[in-house]
Amino acid sequence: MNKVDLLRAFNVNIDLAVEAHELLRGEAQAEIPGVSMEEEQLEHATVTTIKILNEQGVQEMGRPIGTYITIDVPEVHTNNYLIHREITKTLADKLTELMSLPEDASILLVGLGNWNATPDALGPQVIEKSLVTRHLFNYTPEELRGKLRRVSAIAPGVLGITGIETAEIIRGIVEHVKPDLVIAIDALAAGSLERIGTSIQISDTGIAPGGGVGNRRAAINQETLGCRVIAIGLPTVMNAAIIANNCLEALLNELKTSPSLYQLYKEFNPKAFEQILEKALYPYTNNLMVTPKEIDSLIETTARIIAGALGMSLHPGISAEEYQMYMQ
């Protein structure tokens, strides 16, 4: 079954706009109306900027008008500090651009996800490593006063922990804290294994219903919160249905190489295909995740990079090295 059908049949989310775009374009690399794409090649990163420009783009992409920047950093796996520093810097630059914050802006960081399940703990770990400044000027590291923006932060937990929709909690807090900007950090589901841990997406559209890894139904965006929302996401898992589908696709492509087999391929019943998948995932359906064994260090490393980039872009008055010291 082709991937788009699979995603629909198994109710699998593709969280990265860049992947949704690739899928839509297909092998033919068709232009998608209402959507623009630009690529920039940096030393340790490829930056892809997708803009959904109008209602037609919204229909095609199934997500709101806005800018979706993906920073691909395959070398995140190398465990090389100098490269991590470069990645952090690149992410900070892109964030700064996308946020275009006034100097006196106040910011609420929201770490989405479940701290009890490592693959879903990215958001809470970024929060833990972030410098919170809103409540103090007496407590602020003294040499930093005057260089910091006002930052508050919360990891609200997930529905299964609190019994409350995460969006409800955030809305309630935003109404009292009244930040100029909310930045929501979340673990995503990838559409391909290469992107796990290596594709950081930032967007100015918030988090839409249906996105995210599972149970976050209500939107977290300007419309629901009344202030701008930047979302930062990184895939940490992939739905197992995709791996199953990829195998079947590859096998069928293999069969296609001879004309008689191609005939066969065409006759092959797509419904059978779906049944094979269902059986392969049994007794699970769309709630089975693929994740690398080293998920704990992957989350640790990427949470550090994201928290570092947040610090650099939110508090430009302090150096990267200084910020490093204040991270927990």
Chosen residue from 54, 175, 223, 226 binding its own copies by CB under 8 A: 175
* Candidate segments 21-29, 35-43, 50-58, 174-182, binder of its own copies by CB under 8 A: 174-182
DSSP state, residue 164: S
**In angstroms, rounded to a whole number, what is the distance separating the alpha carbons of residues 146 and 152?**
17
**Token digits of residue 130:** 């972030």
Instruction: Write the binding mask 238 to 267 for its own copies: x where contact by CB under 8 A, - elsewhere.
Output: --x--xxxxxx-xxx-xx-----x--x---
**Token digits of residue 131:** 């410098």
Least Cβ distance, residue 162 to its own copies (angstroms): 5
Residue 79, sorted as left (phi over 0), alpha (psi -120 to 50) or beta, turns out to be left
What distance, in Å, lies between the first and last C-alpha atoms of the chain? 46
Burial of 28 by CB count in 10 Å (0-12 exposed, 13-18 middle, 19+ buried)?
exposed
Q: Is 11 in the site for its own copies (CB under 8 A)?
A: no
Count of residues making up the chain:
328
Chosen residue from 25, 51, 85, 256 binding its own copies by CB under 8 A: 85
Chosen residue from 34, 46, 86, 214 binding its own copies by CB under 8 A: 214
Least Cβ distance, residue 56 to its own copies (angstroms): 34
Q: Is 221 in the site for its own copies (CB under 8 A)?
A: no
- Count the neighbouring beta carbons within 10 Å of the beta carbon of residue 209: 13
* Candidate segments 33-41, 42-50, 89-97, 111-119, binder of its own copies by CB under 8 A: 111-119
Chosen residue from 176, 259, 266, 271 binding its own copies by CB under 8 A: 176
Nearer to its own copies (CB atom), residue 44 or residue 61: 44
Chosen residue from 22, 168, 180, 274 binding its own copies by CB under 8 A: 168
Nearer to its own copies (CB atom), residue 63 or residue 150: 150
Question: Minimal CA–CA distance to 197: which of 238, 242, 236, 243?
Answer: 236
**In angstroms, rounded to a whole number, what is the distance separating the alpha carbons of residues 245 and 12?**
12
Q: Which residue has the tokens 């990184």?
A: 234
DSSP state, residue 131: P
DSSP state, residue 202: E
Nearer to its own copies (CB atom), residue 10 or residue 68: 10
* Candidate segments 33-41, 58-66, 236-244, 309-317, binder of its own copies by CB under 8 A: 236-244
Residues 292-321 that bind its own copies (CB under 8 A): 292-297, 300, 321
Instruction: Write the binding mask 115 to 134 for its own copies: x where contact by CB under 8 A, - elsewhere.
Output: -xxxx------------xxx
Q: Is 139 in the site for its own copies (CB under 8 A)?
A: yes
| DSSP H or E run through 205 | none
Question: Minimal CA–CA distance to 123: which of 162, 86, 154?
Answer: 154
Chosen residue from 46, 147, 224, 326 binding its own copies by CB under 8 A: 326
